[in-house]
Amino acid sequence: MAGPCHNAVPRRQFLQDAAAGVAGLSLLGLGCEGQRRAQVGAGARPCNLLFIFADQMHGFALGCMNHPDVLTPHLDQLAASGTLFRNCYSAAPVCTPFRANLFTGRYGSQTGVLRNNQRIPEGARTLAAALNDGGYTTSYVGKWHLGATGNVAVPAHLRGDFQHFIGYQAYNDYEKNVIFFDEDMAPRQFPRHRTDATGDVAIERLEAIADRRFALFVSFQSPHYPEQPSPRFLDLYRDLRPTRRPNCQEIDPYIGTQEPPSRRETDPVYRIYGNNLDEYLRRYYALVTQLDDNVGRILDRLRQLGREDDTVVIFTSDHGDMQGSHGLKNKNRYYEESVRIPCIVRDPRGKRGDAREELVSSVDFFPSVLDYAGLAPEPTAEGRSVLPLTRGRGSDWEDVVISESCGAAGGDWLMVRMGRYKLVADRRLQPVVLFDLERDPYEMRDVLAQEGRRAASLRQRLVAWHEHVTRG
């Protein structure tokens, strides 16, 4: 429970200010369909695409997901003007494998990308290539983390076919060496917090392509560790006693970084929240709120440019963060805190304020983006388009998602959720645990022994999936 809150006034004022900011956002625009009606004889214009994703933001860290502590007014408003998917899963809950999954529409077992720092396979058909061929101007901003790591430029052959590109591979420091490398691999250094710099560059790139049919992808580093929020966002949480999830255990939340290299003994971050999970959570929530603030800035600029009503906006994350649940930290686990990710879609032709319970996956983003763009499906891509769901249809949607891990910290596992049940198996397809998420949403009781028939049925789904993704 939240304790005595000496900063209640600034939190309240923050929400009031944010509410005033989002009040001006149009909720009743013509949308793509209305725009087409208004342009009779002028030719149809498909929707633009704005795809924003966070890093290490679990699916529960949103006010609209009823989180008791975190402040996300702009993302909450985005959900209120679109569709909130309450059960979205990462097909590979670690940085690089998720990104390869996003940009190829294929599982790691198909691309071979199951560990960090791998590249998109040469010759793979990418999402950006399909959009380019469909007449879109494609642009990418932010963390890339495909093919390398470090505060370095991304060479053209690793950029996944994006026409415009400014970012970096992967660098875990928000305050120092905030450098983005453009298409010519020229560095641009920013004397700002990395999250705010990402927002700045995203707005700059949005302005540059807003007069065209565009697809802009924005990759934030937040709230990935180290937890280094700006003071004005940390002030919102300084006196908060964070609410712990029922499955949470006391842990040391500190995780050292590879880029830049850090050691516990000398890392100032360790001195701030080493062996202090509550402080880690306060700072994590502050980074989420800072991310939310920048999402709000981007959406506000989209509106000012007159493109809100013909742009599909998607928000998600690559994976979650364990934060002491089951005594674990970091990612790449099959538990909900790691594999469940946020997903909000604002479709100008879709429903407003809708919350969907269907199971969706990161492998669905590729076909969904093409569907919103009015482009034909790619035969190499897996997944299903969520467009029917955002438009109030999709009664034949099958509630099944699959996720996987291989070789990284967290072990080798395969996971299938179908309806209320979730089975985890090892790479030999032998069942390990079974959870009933309706009765046990915090995964504290393994029912494998009691539900053998159910486990066998779910295992058959995994076997069929495995045969499909490893064929040829």
CB atoms within 10 A of CB 140: 24
DSSP string, 353-364: SEEEEEEEEGGG
User: What's the pLDDT tens digit per position in 209-250?
Assistant: 999 999 999 999 999 999 999 999 999 999 999 999 999 999
29: pLDDT strictly greater than 60: no
My answer on whether omega of the bond before 431 falls inside 30° of 0, hence cis, is: no
What is d(CA 280, CA 278) in angstroms, rounded to the nearest whole number? 5
- Residue 17 has φ and ψ, to the nearest 5°, of -65, -45
Better-predicted residue by pLDDT, 405 or 411: 405
Cα 365 to the center of its chain, rounded Å: 11
448: pLDDT strictly greater than 60: yes
8 Å CB contact between 72 and 63: yes
pLDDT of residue 23: 57
| Residue 35: pLDDT band with limits 50, 70, 90 | very low
DSSP string, 125-164: --HHHHHHHTT-EEEEEEE--SS--BS----GGGSTT-SE
37: pLDDT strictly greater than 60: no
386: nearest Cα among 295, 466, 316: 316
pLDDT of residue 270: 95
What is d(CA 449, CA 431) in angstroms, rounded to the nearest whole number? 10
Q: Is 75 exposed, middle or buried (0-12, 13-18, 19+ CB in 10 A)?
A: buried
User: What's the pLDDT tens digit per position in 135-152?
Assistant: 999 999 999 999 999 999
> 3-class SS at 185?
coil
**Average pLDDT of every residue of the chain:** 92
What is d(CA 14, CA 71) in angstroms, rounded to the nearest whole number? 9
84: pLDDT strictly greater than 90: yes
What is d(CA 288, CA 228) in angstroms, rounded to the nearest whole number? 11
What is d(CA 258, CA 170) in angstroms, rounded to the nearest whole number? 10
43: pLDDT strictly greater than 80: no
User: What's the pLDDT tens digit per position in 235-246?
Assistant: 999 999 999 999
8 Å CB contact between 91 and 98: yes
Listed range (15-24, 191-200, 285-294) with the worst mean pLDDT? 15-24
45: pLDDT strictly greater than 60: no
DSSP H/E element including 68: none
User: What's the pLDDT tens digit per position in 325-373?
Assistant: 999 999 999 999 999 999 999 999 999 999 999 999 999 999 999 999 9
Query: What are the structural domains of the chain?
Result: 8-22+31-396 (3.40.720.10), 412-472 (3.30.1120.10)
40: pLDDT strictly greater than 60: no
pLDDT of residue 3: 38
Average pLDDT over residues 110-117: 95
8 Å CB contact between 55 and 317: yes
What is d(CA 87, CA 230) in angstroms, rounded to the nearest whole number? 30
pLDDT of residue 31: 47
Listed range (254-263, 355-364, 418-427, 434-443) with the worst mean pLDDT? 254-263
DSSP H/E element including 153: none
| Residue 18: pLDDT band with limits 50, 70, 90 | confident
> 3-class SS at 227?
coil
pLDDT of residue 8: 43
DSSP H/E element including 217: strand 214-223
> 3-class SS at 296?
helix
Q: Locate the DSSP E strands across 270-375.
A: 311-317, 340-341, 343-346, 354-361
Average pLDDT over residues 164-183: 98
73: pLDDT strictly greater than 90: yes
Pairing of strands 214-223, 311-317: unpaired
CB atoms within 10 A of CB 375: 17
| Residue 166: pLDDT band with limits 50, 70, 90 | very high
8 Å CB contact between 178 and 192: yes
| Residue 36: pLDDT band with limits 50, 70, 90 | very low
User: What's the pLDDT tens digit per position in 451-465?
Assistant: 999 999 999 999 999
User: What is the pTM (predicted TM-score) of this model?
Assistant: 0.93
Average pLDDT over residues 162-169: 98
| Residue 46: pLDDT band with limits 50, 70, 90 | confident
50: pLDDT strictly greater than 70: yes
Show the tokens assigned to 191: 């004397």
| Residue 1: pLDDT band with limits 50, 70, 90 | very low
For residue 24, CA distances in Å to 27, 56, 416 come to 9, 30, 42
- Considering the chain, what percentage of its residues have pLDDT values greater than 90? 87
Angle of helix 365-372 versus helix 95-104 axis, rounded to 10: 40
